[in-house]
Structure 1
Amino acid sequence: MRSKRKFDFVKSSRRFLIASALITLLGIVAVSVFGLNYGIDFSSGTSVDVTTTKSVEEAKLRVFLDEQKLGDYTLTLAENRDSIRFKEALNEQQEKDFKAAFNTTFDPDASFEINIVDSDIAREQQTSALLGMAIACLGIVIYVSIRFEWRFAIAAVVSLIYSAFFVITVFSIFQLEVNLPFILAVLTIIGYAINDTVVIFDRIRENMRFAKLKTNDDLDELVNSSIWQTLARSINTVITVLIASVCLFIFGSESIKLFSLAMIVGLICGAYSSIFIASQFWLYLRKKQPLKKVAVKPQSTP
């Protein structure tokens, strides 16, 4: 029986897939032109977080940093906490001189959290991050292939790559800092996205056990019904995590704001890709295989 719901996911999928392809093309152009704004985790440099007992004026702090002659830097100010990112890795003497000068100029009771990453460690962390994401995708392919079939696995990976690349595109366009928490956010997004995708795939598989598929239209209806049957669960899961991510972004410290932002963007995109990319891509692959003809028993003549 045909679904009487107004919105047909399968019928509308072509528009969404074209839009997704255009966004992916935009992302490739953005990453090629703008690149990624790597933090010190992936490029050599020094991160200095200073906690003060009183607020420090930005203008005076910039004058102070220029006088230290420690190279290019970026500055982020929060209430009683200043984050400074130097593009150069400071040596031990430069670190001691900076602390002493800051205490003398602004606050003798200021405390410092300093992280220094040299070029070798930065390259090693880049390699480890890429390797981790590759292993995660490979594990998903193996898991989905064993639990379902190869078409589900391919569709799931295409969907996950789109979700991860969409977040990368946003960070590239706005030149937001890419660091280890960003990689952690992407891996978390992949986890939530594959969860939504597997739920839809599981319902598709269950419905196929009892469906009598004679035409491709029957297959379209099966996928459409499966999405509707799991839609409430997917939305509730995403909204629950999304509320937590938004709260972290608004009320959390500066150090986790970009992590929270990546989670917000990725969760929304992950839910979208599960519905409009993973299930539709599987449907496309499944239609390449001829449907089994349903045997019709001849009626006996009286």
Structure 2
Amino acid sequence: MSFPILQKYLARLSDATGAATSIWLDHEGKAQGRFFNCTMSSAFQPIRQADSGAVHAYEGLARSVSAQDQGLSLWKLLDHAASDDESIELDRLCRMLHSINFFRQADSAPSAHADLYLNVHDRLLSAVSSNHGHAFRRILDALELPVERVVLQLPAATPQQGWLLNYVSDNYRRNGFRFAVNVAGARDGLHVLGRLRPDVLKLDARDLQDQAALLELLQRCAADKVTLVFKRLETPQQLTALRQLGDTAGVSLLVQGYLLDEPRAALLEPARRAA
């Protein structure tokens, strides 16, 4: 799938300079942006099928510009230095950068159907006054990019923030987005399933002790057609445990972590996707 309006926008960006705009293209064609005098770009970490290794999606991550490609994670440093309004600006800048850098590569066959996961950071939940997702939807529509391939990731919430997640997720759904929720564990995931009806749940692969709750969650997700992703996969033992869990529940699991992939600017070529 090609994105002609995006290509025209990139052509205009290629004529811009860092001094003239907040977003520009480097010599390799990657979109870069500036915030608090820091230059940043995008890195993408694959989300894979645990059994086959096939790439299902990519999570976009903000990185400093680096000759080593991966760069450094900037979010916590910049967000702590920002006011609420500046944090909203940073969040939206990151999502636009990631969308441009993902879809400019995603018209090739290997990535033609992969989804893009984008983080919504916790300060944005309470800082935006109304209609979450509307401004970002307008950007995607203007560039004629497929909103149905974008999954917005909501942070884990305290019980006191439950009403806020309900409000925000409803706004995202009304604007055509699917959304994921990070949960603290399997039992929290079971609670969120009934309350928010998310499209995706993300759990920490390092916390697999409550097998009974995990099996119940897997079965509930399969019945409700909710995607389950185990993030922060770091050791072969965790991968083996997850595969066994999937076999027991009779479902295929999605996994993400440094055991399988480091975040990189370029989407994977076919040979590396299957490795």
In the superposition, the TM-score normalised over structure 1's length comes to 0.23
Quick check: which has more Rg, 1 or 2? 1
Higher relative contact order (CA 8 A, sep 6+): 1
